């Protein structure tokens, strides 16, 4: 699996919101802020966006972007390239989250909400990062902690950001207070996530039966006539575009050793990683009306199970009161400063595989196991030289492309100017071919900004500068093709394939019906063998797990999970296959597990549903706000 694949699998982790970071993430540690990125060609005080008069500045973006980038690089061992950053659209995500945060502040202010100095102070006093032995460390040391960040954080800046986070927290609490979770909802979700089955599966795919099926013209015509909306084409548009290819320019850029050395020194923090450990824990919370003695006793009982050879991850899922329980208590890698002192001291003192005694922190009682260690250090210049050279070439190419685009923009007023400007600069004007909103453009590939502009602009006009994966483009709209049901001849191959698939699924179903009947008279394995299909066995899986041949499938889930151990399903039809399944084993949720897990599941489900409602609420609220973007600043910050 490539590094980029790993990022894509964890894409949701990248969708961070600074407001939520401040009010929740910071309960475990104080964030590290880095120096603003240099060389962007923008003033830190310039506004990237304005939301009802509230400015999102370049300087704030640079700080938060570098903070996010450092977190990503530390989490993945520094193995992230500029191409990955562009493909993951990290800069765009940071801007969007900044706009979302300011929008929450605007909406909270509209509703008359404020955060008093007393509320702000009270929250700071309760933050674990500013406590020692359960007490606030004092104003002098509070400022010292902030000053020791890389680079130092001014207390005023930290408190301003915290105030925004608290305001967002108040807003969300007020808007979502009515959302509640019933015991039945929590139990149903707990069953969904924890009930498991192990299946023997006989899968009859359409592909197995499609050979030899030759639809008649009458069958193809009948299918098309009865399902015309299925084949309706979306609106499509065509543009001519002048492209300035920064990727091509990068190949011609040169970088001197002195430039590489200077960038390495300037960015040394980006290549420095502190010692880290990966640990899992089982948490028994204290406070909030909990009986501390009872919680310690519960922790001691579970610790005894761990030391007797119990599965740590399974016990964490069953007993831990932390959100990490769903991951078997896994907290991934973290630096010493990332956790409260008692926790870090224990985790860093152990070797992989060791388990702590009971560790008490302000959160409660922890059972900790260290699973991996990662040494800290600074990557030598020799190891990152190629990466820095590539980054510098990327920046130089982007600057050159921007310079060409800025000059071209002054000379382009109407579509006829595109060819003249292209010829003068050795560029070309190309044709995109017809494309829908979510299709690639010939020569440009997927270009969301180009597509968005093409589907809103008028014919006879020329766009401004538009970012593409290759660089910058100017476009003019040349054709609009309205949505329509195509003639049968245009989609005949597609309709023929559908007819073949449906006939093949019918044949698969007939075979599956016979096989299921045989399995009920004899054995599942013998029936499958007689039907000419290989039995595929799963592990113990929960709902939503991909199945062999059919992937994640709610129809299969709904059919197999109600079955008792040893039972065989009726044939289960999917779009491209028919499945017969036997429940070889199952793990049911006991009343004790349900009683233990329901409170945490109720909390988790409540947070999820409140977040979903709040997101929908804010989407509507933002539609009523005056939100403007500084295109020039965005172009400079995002690069090509």
Least confident of 258-272, 289-303, 304-318: 258-272
Is residue 500 left, alpha or beta, with left meaning phi > 0 and alpha meaning psi from -120 to 50?
Answer: alpha
Return the higher-pLDDT residue of 469 and 604: 604
Q: Per the domain annotation, does 595 fall within a domain?
A: no
CATH of the domain at 568: 3.10.50
Q: Do 26 and 169 sit in the same domain of this protein? A: yes
Q: Is the pLDDT of residue 358 over 50?
A: yes
Cα separation, 295 vs 292, whole angstroms: 5
Q: Do 530 and 475 sit in the same domain of this protein? A: no
In angstroms, the first-to-last Cα distance of the chain is 27
Please give the pLDDT value at position 268: 81
Q: In angstroms, what CA-CA distances link 545 with 138, 192, 550, 551?
A: 50, 11, 11, 8
pLDDT digits (tens, 9 = 90+) for 418-460: 999 999 999 999 999 999 988 899 999 888 889 888 998 999 9
Q: Do 406 and 528 sit in the same domain of this protein? A: no
* Residue whose C-alpha is closest to residue 30's, from 305, 314, 340, 251: 340
Last residue of a domain, one of 375, 406, 424: 375
State percent of the chain over pLDDT 90. Answer: 56
| Alpha carbon 269 to chain centroid, angstroms | 25
Q: Per the domain annotation, does 526 fall within a domain?
A: yes
Please give the pLDDT value at position 12: 35
The set of residues, in sequence order, having a beta carbon less than 8 Å from that of 414 and lying 6+ positions away, is 460, 461, 462
Q: Per the domain annotation, does 264 fall within a domain?
A: no
Cα separation, 350 vs 277, whole angstroms: 9
Last residue of a domain, one of 544, 572, 587: 587
Q: Do 443 and 505 sit in the same domain of this protein? A: no
Q: Do 137 and 121 sit in the same domain of this protein? A: yes
Question: Which three-class secondary structure string do you get for 300-365?
Answer: HHHHHHHHCCCCHHHHHHHHCCCHHHHHCCEEEEEEHHHCCHHHHHHHHHCCCCCECCCEEECCEE
pLDDT digits (tens, 9 = 90+) for 201-226: 999 999 999 998 999 999 999 999 99
* Residue whose C-alpha is closest to residue 240's, from 480, 479, 481, 476: 476
Binning pLDDT at 50, 70 and 90, where does residue 314 land?
Answer: very high
Binning pLDDT at 50, 70 and 90, where does residue 83 land?
Answer: low
pLDDT digits (tens, 9 = 90+) for 47-65: 888 999 998 888 888 777 7
* Residue whose C-alpha is closest to residue 197's, from 447, 539, 471: 539
H/E run at residue 600: helix 591-623
Binning pLDDT at 50, 70 and 90, where does residue 355 land?
Answer: very high
**Phi, psi angle pair for 279, to nearest 5°:** -140, 160
Q: Do 568 and 440 sit in the same domain of this protein? A: no
Q: Is the pLDDT of residue 151 over 60?
A: no
Compute and round to an integer the Cα radius of gyration of the chain: 30
Q: Do 521 and 541 sit in the same domain of this protein? A: yes
Q: Do 498 and 476 sit in the same domain of this protein? A: no
Please give the pLDDT value at position 306: 94
Please give the pLDDT value at position 27: 28
Q: Is the pLDDT of residue 269 over 80?
A: no
Q: In angstroms, what CA-CA distances link 479 with 185, 283, 433, 441, 466?
A: 52, 62, 9, 14, 19
Q: Per the domain annotation, does 319 fall within a domain?
A: yes
Q: Per the domain annotation, does 592 fall within a domain?
A: no
Q: Is the pLDDT of residue 36 over 80?
A: no
Q: How many domains, the chain?
A: 4
Please give the pLDDT value at position 149: 67
CATH of the domain at 142: 1.10.4030.10
CATH of the domain at 294: 3.10.50.40
CB 590 within 8 A of CB 76: no
| Domain enclosing residue 534, as ranges | 196-232+489-587
Least confident of 6-10, 267-271, 507-511, 595-599: 6-10
Q: Do 118 and 132 sit in the same domain of this protein? A: yes
Q: Do 173 and 42 sit in the same domain of this protein? A: yes
CB 274 within 8 A of CB 336: yes
Q: Per the domain annotation, does 597 fall within a domain?
A: no
Q: Do 97 and 172 sit in the same domain of this protein? A: yes
Q: Per the domain annotation, does 552 fall within a domain?
A: yes
Q: Do 421 and 341 sit in the same domain of this protein? A: no
Q: What is the mean pLDDT of the segment spanning 481-499? A: 93
Please give the pLDDT value at position 2: 38
Q: Per the domain annotation, does 382 fall within a domain?
A: no
State percent of the chain over pLDDT 70. Answer: 89
């Amino acid at each position: 699996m490539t590094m980029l694949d790993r990022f894509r699998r964890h894409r949701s982790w990248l969708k961070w919101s600074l407001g939520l970071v401040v009010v929740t993430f910071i309960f475990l540690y104080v964030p590290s802020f880095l120096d603003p990125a240099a060389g962007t060609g923008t003033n830190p005080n310039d506004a990237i966006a304005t939301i009802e008069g509230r400015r999102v500045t370049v300087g704030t973006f640079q700080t938060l972007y570098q903070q996010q980038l450092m977190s990503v690089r530390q989490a993945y061992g520094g193995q992230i390239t500029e191409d990955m950053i562009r493909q993951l659209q990290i800069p765009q995500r940071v801007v969007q989250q900044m706009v979302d945060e300011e929008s929450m502040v605007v909406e909270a202010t509209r509703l008359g909400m404020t955060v008093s100095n007393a509320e702000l102070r009270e929250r700071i006093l309760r933050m674990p990062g500013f406590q020692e032995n359960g007490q606030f460390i004092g104003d002098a040391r509070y400022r010292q902690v902030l000053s020791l960040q890389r680079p130092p954080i001014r207390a005023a800046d930290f408190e301003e950001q915290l105030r925004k986070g608290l305001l967002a927290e108040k807003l969300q609490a007020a808007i979502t207070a009515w959302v509640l979770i019933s015991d039945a909802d929590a139990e149903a979700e707990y069953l969904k996530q924890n009930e498991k089955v192990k299946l023997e599966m006989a899968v009859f795919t359409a592909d197995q039966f499609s050979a030899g099926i030759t639809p008649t013209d009458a069958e193809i015509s009948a299918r098309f006539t009865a399902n015309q909306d299925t084949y309706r084409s979306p609106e499509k548009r065509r543009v001519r575009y002048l492209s300035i290819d920064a990727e091509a320019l990068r190949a011609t850029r040169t970088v001197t050793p002195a430039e590489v050395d200077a960038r390495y020194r300037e960015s040394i923090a980006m290549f420095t990683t502190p010692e880290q450990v990966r640990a899992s824990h089982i948490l028994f919370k204290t406070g909030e009306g909990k009986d501390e003695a009872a919680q310690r006793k519960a922790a001691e009982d579970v610790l005894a199970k761990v030391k007797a050879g119990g599965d740590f991850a399974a016990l964490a899922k069953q007993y831990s009161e932390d959100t990490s329980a769903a991951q078997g208590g896994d907290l991934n890698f973290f630096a010493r400063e990332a956790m409260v002192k008692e926790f870090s001291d224990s985790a860093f003192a152990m070797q992989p595989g060791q388990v702590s005694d009971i560790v008490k922190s302000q959160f409660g009682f922890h059972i900790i196991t260290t699973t991996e260690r990662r040494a800290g250090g600074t990557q030598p210049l020799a190891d990152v030289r190629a990466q820095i050279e590539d980054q510098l070439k990327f920046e130089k190419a982007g600057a050159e492309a921007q310079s060409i685009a800025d000059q071209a923009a002054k000379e382009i007023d109407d579509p006829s100017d595109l060819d003249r400007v292209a010829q003068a600069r050795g560029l070309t004007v190309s044709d995109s071919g017809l494309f829908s909103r979510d299709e690639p453009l010939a020569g440009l590939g997927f270009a969301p900004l180009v597509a968005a502009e093409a589907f809103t602009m008028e014919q006879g006009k020329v766009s401004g500068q538009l970012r593409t994966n290759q660089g910058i483009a100017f476009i003019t709209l040349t054709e609009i093709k309205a949505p329509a049901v195509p003639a049968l001849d245009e989609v005949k191959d597609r309709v023929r394939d559908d007819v073949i698939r449906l006939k093949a699924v019918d044949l698969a179903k007939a075979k599956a019906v016979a096989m299921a009947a045989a399995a009920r008279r004899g054995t599942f394995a013998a029936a499958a063998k007689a039907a000419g299909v290989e039995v595929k066995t799963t592990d113990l899986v929960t709902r939503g797990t991909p199945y062999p041949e059919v992937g994640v499938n709610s129809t299969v889930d709904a059919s197999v999970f109600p079955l008792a151990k040893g039972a065989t399903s009726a044939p289960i039809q999917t779009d491209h296959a028919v499945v017969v399944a036997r429940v070889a084993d199952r793990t049911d949720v006991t009343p004790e597990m349900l009683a233990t897990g329901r409170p945490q599941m109720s909390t988790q489900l409540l947070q999820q549903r409140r977040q979903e409602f709040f997101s929908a609420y804010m989407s509507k609220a933002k539609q009523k706000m005056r939100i403007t973007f500084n295109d020039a600043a965005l172009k400079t910050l995002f690069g090509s």
